[in-house]
Amino acid sequence: MRGYFFVALLALALAEISAIGGNHLPEAALNLNERFFDEVRELIKRRMESKPLPLAGDEVALQNQRSYDNVPIPAANVPVPVLVENWPTDQHSFGQVTAVSVDPEGNPVIFHRADRYWDVNTFNESNIYYLIEYGPIKEKTIYVLDPKTGAIKTGWGSEMFYMPHGMTIDGHGNYWITDVAMHQAFKFRPFESKPQLVIGKRFRPGSSVKHLCKPTSIAVATTGEFFIADGYCNSRILKFNAAGKLLRSIPQPPEFLSLQVPHAITLLEHLDLLCIADRENMRVVCPKAGLKSSHGEGQPAATIQEPDLGRVFGVSGYGDIVFAVNGPTSMLPVRGFTIDPRSETIIGHWGEFKNPHSIAVSVNGSALYVTETGTNHQTNRVWKYVLA
């Protein structure tokens, strides 16, 4: 690209030097002498000093990116989660509520384990699920709730899953689900028992590009591309196109990014960032998602790691910020965090929890939901916040 502009300047130099000479260059000028080149160099130097050469497309994008990188979000523009008391109005008897998402109509949707629990006897040393013989969970594992009252509107997902973990609902209402026992990720149309797309081999953990091992979470872009956090064993992120073709693995050489249990992921599409709850490294990291262009992929990720953050279990993007929840970590408070990836800082704290596992924000930003996992229906619950 810069060569093109050099040629343009050279042509301009020929024209201006010709004008200075008062007439057209003679044929002998085809054998350009040193004095002519000196004049060209001097003219180009003057032109570059007065007006820098235009940048190529990727360089323009990078320069524009720098114009808003590292600029903190004004405090007045940061929504504050405020707890909605006495929500839900009725007590539910959920199992471990491992995931929450919000459908396009604004309904919170939960994914729970019913009577199943993950403990030391659930998997063997090779990550094989011990309890296959018990079959899938007989109860409905997915419930759609009323956003006003928290009452159950409808449910589905019985006889389908063995050990629920992650669930994301995209802008078209598709359900993206991970099951750590099956070592698979699925895309479903609402209330359908047959998946449209399956990634991973059923009950066969592995580290090849065709296998998953206890996948945790899925993030879906408006472009149709999606990312799977693969998860407890492989500690990697896999990026696919809308048809399920693998595009990229994160990290990959020469990318310097070591993940330890990427437990949840979310997209900030405006910033072209994929933010990861890097649980055992006790941080949130946001590498480039590569949705707009491959430029920047593999560059150092934005990293948020502060002393009070602890083990991060859930992340959810809203605008240019990330809401996150940590889990029990030594003596640290278990609570919610508001994170600004651009300045790589925590800009707010909120809530008080015991064992949160997931978090989701409604598309219009009116509500935020947090789920907790426990040992009974009183500790397996969903909290609702409004964003003020």
pLDDT per residue as tens digits for the range 72-105 = 677 668 999 999 999 999 989 999 999 999 999 9
Domain count within the chain:
1
The annotated binding site for Zn(2+) is made up of: 165, 263, 357
In a domain, 287, yes or no: yes
Neighbouring CB atoms inside 10 A of 229's CB total 32
In a domain, 146, yes or no: yes
The annotated binding site is made up of: 100, 113, 165, 232, 263, 279, 357
| 1 pLDDT more than 50 | no
The annotated binding site for Ca(2+) is made up of: 100
In a domain, 53, yes or no: no
In a domain, 192, yes or no: yes
Q: Which residue has the tokens 């007989």?
A: 138
In a domain, 155, yes or no: yes
Please give the radius of gyration of the chain, using alpha carbons only, rounded to the nearest integer.
27
Residues contacting residue 130 through CB under 8 Å, at least 6 positions apart: 121, 122, 123, 124
Q: Which residues pair with 218 in a beta bridge?
A: 228
Confidence of residue 54 (pLDDT cuts 50, 70, 90): very low
| 24 pLDDT more than 90 | no
DSSP, res 270: G
In a domain, 23, yes or no: no
Q: Are 335 and 351 in contact (CB under 8 A)?
A: yes
In a domain, 313, yes or no: yes
Q: Between 375 and 150, whose confidence is greater?
A: 150
Note down the domain range covering 214.
84-387
For residue 260, what is the domain's CATH number? Answer: 2.120.10.30
Q: Which residue has the tokens 């007045």?
A: 76
In a domain, 17, yes or no: no
Confidence of residue 8 (pLDDT cuts 50, 70, 90): very low
The annotated binding site for a protein is made up of: 113, 232, 279
Tell me the average pLDDT of the chain: 86
| 23 pLDDT more than 70 | no
